[in-house]
């Protein structure tokens, strides 16, 4: 049976060669998520997908009740165990032979898929947000006025303002990436060029302070917990360690950390405190938001209620279309996401203030992303199901979609208690 699909697999192999993959100097094998998903659609990968889905549900349910350390341990353990199944799967072999390079791709793909799904659950748990708040506070106190001389920078980099500006801009983008893989690649690329640590360390501190990037600590923790530990090696490990050091330094930053006179320090603090009182909401309120996730800076920040409604409706309809295409096996999970999204849209629309709407809209966007990914998995199943069992689109499915229609207001009150079976 596996033999019969050999041509398919080889076709996929040919395609992979043409796909331009992510750039990373540290890698031999190019990773391409699309090609990973393509392979996962092979019928023999169905048990893998089931395991992935089960783990995603498990993680989402358990993460609130067990410690971060425990859940991370379980996450790594799960991937290790899943890799054993991958090793036995013909899709990830080359003409039946062991194929470690393919296994690496599979491992990357599994991490990518999992963390895309689990980002909103795994990113910035309470303990990280507390530390984020400390770092954010230091950024607000020191970021505006800090100069290279305060950090004991020696050497030619001192005069290179362009370099600093670039670093600031780069660090601000970290929250645009969702997976540990992308975040790590991005962080390492943001690191300073050829120079000794005597110069790199202060310039990084300066850049991060001035970037005022949110959730800096959380980002580092997220990567160190969920990135394949073997990929945190060599260059990546060095740069990543530097950033951990920078974060730690900023967290404990006080007058003693700096080259500064008492007089100047007091003056700067006074000024910074005055400014912070004026823009208090920006720094005090931010970590207390119910939604701990950073915003996507590429999105337009301002949006009226009407625009939001229109946008939300569009998203809702597109989601609904996708659910119609979805497979019966995933329908419960999709349904749960759907009802959550629905509840949020309604809550946001009925709310008058602009800022919750903004938050809800962001949540919507994330849910949309989750749908897209869940869908990739769901579609693979539906295709297989239809082919193998000649299943008609089940009546049950139609019913579910009917129930989720926005016109059915009565489900609103029950939606929060809906659980996937």
Partner 1 sequence: MPKIYQYKLVLLGESAVGKSSLVLRFVKNSFSDHQESTIGVDKDTLKFEIWDTAGQERYNSLAPMYYRGAHAAVVDSFERAKKWVTELLRNASPNIVIALVGNKLDLATHRQVTLEEGQAYADEANLLFTEASARSGDGVSEAFIKIAKKLPKTEQQMASPRLAPDARRVDLNRSGAESYPTTNRCC
Cα 299-53-296 angle, rounded to 5 deg: 10
Question: Among 5, 76, 346, 411, which residue interacts with partner 1 (rule: CB under 8 A)?
Answer: 76
Q: Does 66 participate in binding partner 1 (rule CB under 8 A)?
A: no
Applying CB under 8 A, the span of 37-45, 225-233, 288-296, 392-400 interacting with partner 1 comes to 225-233
95: phi then psi, degrees, rounded to nearest 5: 50, 45
Q: Does 262 participate in binding partner 1 (rule CB under 8 A)?
A: no
C-alpha–C-alpha distance, residues 419 and 362, integer Å: 23
Which residues from 380-419 bind partner 1, rule CB under 8 A? none
C-alpha–C-alpha distance, residues 226 and 76, integer Å: 8
Taking residues 107 to 146 in sequence order and writing x for each that binds partner 1 by CB under 8 A, - otherwise, the string is: ------------------------x---------------
For partner 1, the closer CB: 201 or 345: 201
Q: Does 103 participate in binding partner 1 (rule CB under 8 A)?
A: yes
In the complex, the smallest distance separating the C-beta of residue 342 from partner 1, rounded to whole angstroms, is: 38
Under DSSP, is residue 191 helix (H, G, I), strand (E, B) or coil?
A: coil
Which residues from 346-385 bind partner 1, rule CB under 8 A? none
Under DSSP, is residue 326 helix (H, G, I), strand (E, B) or coil?
A: coil
User: Total number of residues binding partner 1 (CB under 8 A)?
Assistant: 51
Q: Does 197 participate in binding partner 1 (rule CB under 8 A)?
A: yes
Q: Who contacts 339 (Cβ-Cβ below 8 Å, separation ≥6)? A: 404, 411, 415, 416, 418
Question: Among 90, 158, 195, 269, which residue interacts with partner 1 (rule: CB under 8 A)?
Answer: 195
Applying CB under 8 A, the span of 186-194, 279-287, 386-394, 410-418 interacting with partner 1 comes to 186-194
Sign of CA dihedral 344, 175, 306, 315: negative
Q: Which residue(s) pair with 97 in the sheet? A: 94
Question: Among 225, 268, 344, 361, which residue interacts with partner 1 (rule: CB under 8 A)?
Answer: 225
For partner 1, the closer CB: 144 or 251: 251
DSSP string, 318-341: HHHHHHHHS-GGGHHHHHHHHHHH
Separation in Å, CA 313 to CA 126, 310, 334, 349, 399: 32, 5, 18, 11, 21
Under DSSP, is residue 355 helix (H, G, I), strand (E, B) or coil?
A: helix
CA-nearest of 239, 173, 253, 241 to 206 is: 253
Q: Who contacts 42 (Cβ-Cβ below 8 Å, separation ≥6)? A: 5, 8, 9, 91
Question: Among 30, 170, 176, 251, which residue interacts with partner 1 (rule: CB under 8 A)?
Answer: 251
In the complex, the smallest distance separating the C-beta of residue 29 from partner 1, rounded to whole angstroms, is: 8
In the complex, the smallest distance separating the C-beta of residue 106 from partner 1, rounded to whole angstroms, is: 10
CA atoms within 13 A on the CB side of 218: 28
In the complex, the smallest distance separating the C-beta of residue 135 from partner 1, rounded to whole angstroms, is: 10
Question: Among 241, 255, 307, 313, which residue interacts with partner 1 (rule: CB under 8 A)?
Answer: 241
Q: Distance between alpha carbon 417 and the CA centroid of its chain, in Å?
A: 26
Q: Which residue(s) pair with 94 in the sheet? A: 97
For partner 1, the closer CB: 72 or 379: 72
In the complex, the smallest distance separating the C-beta of residue 198 from partner 1, rounded to whole angstroms, is: 4
CA-nearest of 411, 289, 297, 269 to 365 is: 297
User: By the criterion CB under 8 A, which residues form the site for partner 1?
Assistant: 28-29, 69, 72-73, 76-77, 80, 83-84, 87, 100-101, 103-104, 131, 152, 154, 191-198, 200-202, 217, 220-221, 224-225, 229, 232, 234-235, 238-239, 241, 244-245, 247-249, 251, 256-259
């Amino acid at each position: 049976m596996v033999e019969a699909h050999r041509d398919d697999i080889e076709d996929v192999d040919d395609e992979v060669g043409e796909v331009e993959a992510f750039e990373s100097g540290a890698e031999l094998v190019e990773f391409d998520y699309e090609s990973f998903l393509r392979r996962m659609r092979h019928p023999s990968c169905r048990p893998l997908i089931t395991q992935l889905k089960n783990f995603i549900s498990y993680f989402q349910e358990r993460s609130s009740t067990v410690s971060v350390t425990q859940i991370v341990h379980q996450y790594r353990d799960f991937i290790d165990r899943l890799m054993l199944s991958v090793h036995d799967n013909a899709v990830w072999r080359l003409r039946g032979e062991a194929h470690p390079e393919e296994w690496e791709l599979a491992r990357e793909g599994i991490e990518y898929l999992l963390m895309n799904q689990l980002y909103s659950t795994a990113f910035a748990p309470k303990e990280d947000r507390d530390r984020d708040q400390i770092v954010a506070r230091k950024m607000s106190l020191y970021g505006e006025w800090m100069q290279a001389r305060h950090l004991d920078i020696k050497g030619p980099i001192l005069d290179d303002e362009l370099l600093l500006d670039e670093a600031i801009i780069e660090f601000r983008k970290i929250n645009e990436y969702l997976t540990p893989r992308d975040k790590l690649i991005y962080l390492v690329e943001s690191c300073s060029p050829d120079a000794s640590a005597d110069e790199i360390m202060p310039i990084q501190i300066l850049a991060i302070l001035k970037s005022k990037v949110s959730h800096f600590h959380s980002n580092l923790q997220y990567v160190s917990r969920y990135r394949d530990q073997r990929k945190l090696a060599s260059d990546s490990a060095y740069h990543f360690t530097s950033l951990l050091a920078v974060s730690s330094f900023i967290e404990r930053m006080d007058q003693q950390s700096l080259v500064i006179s008492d007089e100047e320090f007091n003056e700067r603090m006074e000024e910074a405190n005055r400014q912070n009182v004026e823009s208090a909401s920006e720094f005090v309120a931010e970590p207390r938001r119910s939604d701990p996730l950073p915003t996507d800076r590429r999105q337009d920040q301002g949006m009226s209620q009407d625009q939001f409604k229109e946008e939300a409706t569009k998203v809702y309809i597109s989601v609904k279309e996708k659910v119609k295409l979805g497979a019966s096996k995933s329908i419960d999970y999709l349904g749960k996401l759907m009802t959550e999204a629905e509840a949020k849209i309604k809550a946001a629309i009925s709310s008058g203030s602009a800022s919750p709407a903004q938050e809800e809209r962001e949540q919507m966007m994330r849910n949309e992303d989750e749908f897209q990914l869940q869908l990739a998995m769901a579609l693979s199943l539906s295709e297989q199901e239809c082919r193998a069992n000649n299943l008609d689109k089940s009546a049950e499915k139609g019913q579910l979609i009917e129930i989720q229609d926005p016109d059915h207001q009565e489900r609103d009150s029950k939606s929060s208690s809906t659980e996937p079976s």
